[in-house]
């Protein structure tokens, strides 16, 4: 398996320590307003905002630039390997990939960048980093290969995952884009975190994906994880529903991000694997602030969510892992992005995320 080569195997030290961060999307009309919300609520680990109101920032479209055979139409994004120039374009793609693999500096102005047109929040965030003083790390995100390849279809509705050429190209393209993003964010001098967004992993074991093996999914994810880590970043995977947690915990992840409000009991059933993950330094992004429905959001307070976190932590505690040591390897997040919520509900989610983190860090102080 070929992956983007490392320029620096060392990474700036990052400690989670119960700090708050977010999961991408916000229901605002422009990136600047999104960044103002982000820095007001999660200044220690800001991320670049994705705007669902912009069609080019959707999961199927934001990271496909530079990939031959993927047609970004007005009404539909699909793949087509039958074009007369496809083979020539594909050869050029892999030549560019191999060049970046041999010399990662080639990524800087390559086809593997994310343009301002599709990732404006990324560029606006980088501009803001020099103006802020409380930042401990900076967070980005990229659509995961399983989600892209099971959402992307040809004109006959065949999944991209089942086309070996499209699959290889998409995995390598996403890996290179993830490496580029880490390098772009690391220019700030801060630790860089990139979450691989994989909502489609909630479908594991369903009839839709019965012929897809965990081994193959793991191979694809590992290629993107390796690219992030070898570029000097911290790699996370975010799944906002239930999935095969033991499978994900077995990967070489730095951070596992999940909907703790809705699915903690499923993760807790893998207590031994959770301990192994924590023991090797893994971080849990505890999505304890609900985003699924207005009534769930309005029913909670910072106090109720802190109590919920404590009860959850106690379920995976043992002689070593208590509330304080678990919090040391925890990030506090919403259960998912807030882009589908009203502005007022999204603001409440951000307020709860901030306040839960603040309260927990006061109750269970961490070593700096």
Residue 40, pLDDT above cutoff 70: yes
**Residue 1 pLDDT grade (very low, low, confident, very high; cuts 50, 70, 90):** very low
- Domain 31-363's class? alpha beta
Output the pTM of the full model. Answer: 0.95
Q: List, for residues 296-312, the tens digit of each pLDDT value.
A: 999 999 999 999 999 99
Residue 5, pLDDT above cutoff 70: no
Q: List, for residues 324-343, the tens digit of each pLDDT value.
A: 999 999 999 999 999 999 99
CA distance 260 to 314: 14
Q: Which whole number is the average pLDDT over 81-104?
A: 95
What are phi and psi for residue 78, nearest 5 degrees?
-150, 170
Q: List, for residues 202-260, the tens digit of each pLDDT value.
A: 977 666 777 889 999 999 999 999 999 999 999 999 999 999 999 999 999 999 999 99
Close Cβ partners of 218 (under 8 Å, ≥ 6 residues apart):
247, 250, 251
| Cα of 291 vs its chain's centroid, Å | 17
| Cα of 111 vs its chain's centroid, Å | 21
pLDDT (0 to 100) of residue 253: 97
**Residue 73 pLDDT grade (very low, low, confident, very high; cuts 50, 70, 90):** confident
Q: Given the structure tokens 């999505």, which residue do they identify?
A: 287
pLDDT (0 to 100) of residue 4: 65
pLDDT (0 to 100) of residue 108: 94
Domain ranges for the chain, please list them: 31-363
CA distances from 152 to 64, 146, 161, 206 (A): 10, 10, 8, 18
CA distances from 117 to 54, 79, 166 (A): 10, 21, 24
pLDDT (0 to 100) of residue 205: 67
CA distance 216 to 224: 13
Indicate the burial class of 209 (C-beta count within 10 angstroms; 0-12, 13-18, 19 or more).
middle
Q: List, for residues 136-160, the tens digit of each pLDDT value.
A: 999 999 999 999 999 999 999 999 9
Specify the higher pLDDT residue, 317 or 10: 317
Eight-state DSSP code of residue 336: S
DSSP 168-212: HHHHHHHHHHHHHHHHHHHTTSS-EEEEEE-GGGGGTTSGGGTT-
CA distances from 48 to 45, 61, 117 (A): 10, 17, 14
Average of per-residue pLDDT values in the chain: 94
């Amino acid at each position: 398996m070929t992956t983007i080569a490392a320029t620096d195997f060392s990474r700036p030290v990052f400690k989670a320590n119960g700090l708050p961060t977010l999961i991408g999307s916000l229901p605002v009309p422009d990136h600047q307003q999104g960044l103002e919300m982000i820095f007001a609520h999660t200044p220690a680990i800001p991320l670049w905002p994705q705007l669902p109101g912009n069609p080019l920032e959707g999961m199927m479209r934001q990271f496909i630039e530079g990939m031959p055979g993927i047609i970004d139409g007005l009404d539909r994004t699909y793949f087509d390997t039958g074009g007369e120039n496809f083979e020539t374009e594909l050869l050029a793609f892999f030549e560019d990939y191999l060049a970046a693999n041999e010399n990662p500096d080639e990524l800087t102005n390559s086809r593997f960048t994310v343009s301002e047109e599709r990732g404006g929040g990324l560029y606006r965030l980088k501009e803001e980093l020099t103006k802020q003083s409380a930042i401990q790390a900076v967070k980005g995100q990229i659509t995961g290969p399983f989600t892209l390849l099971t959402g992307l279809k040809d004109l006959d509705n065949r999944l991209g995952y089942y086309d070996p050429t499209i699959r290889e190209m998409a995995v390598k393209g996403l890996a290179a884009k993830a490496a580029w993003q880490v390098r772009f964010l690391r220019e700030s001098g801060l630790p860089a975190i990139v979450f691989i967004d994989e909502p489609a992993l909630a479908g594991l074991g369903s009839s839709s994906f019965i012929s897809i093996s965990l081994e193959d999914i793991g191979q694809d994810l590992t290629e993107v994880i390796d690219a992030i880590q070898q570029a000097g970043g911290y790699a996370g995977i975010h799944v906002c529903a239930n999935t095969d947690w033991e499978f994900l915990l077995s990967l070489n992840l730095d951070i596992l991000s999940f909907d703790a409000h809705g699915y903690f009991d499923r993760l807790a059933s893998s207590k031994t694997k959770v301990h192994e993950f924590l023991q090797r330094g893994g971080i849990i992004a505890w999505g304890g602030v609900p985003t699924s429905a207005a009534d769930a959001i309005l029913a909670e307070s910072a106090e109720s969510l802190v109590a919920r976190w404590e009860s959850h932590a106690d379920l995976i505690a043992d002689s070593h892992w208590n509330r304080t040591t678990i919090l040391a390897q925890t990030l506090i997040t919403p259960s998912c992005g807030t882009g589908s919520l009203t502005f007022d509900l999204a603001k409440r989610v951000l307020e709860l995320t901030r306040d839960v983190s603040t309260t927990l860090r006061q109750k269970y102080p961490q070593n700096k």
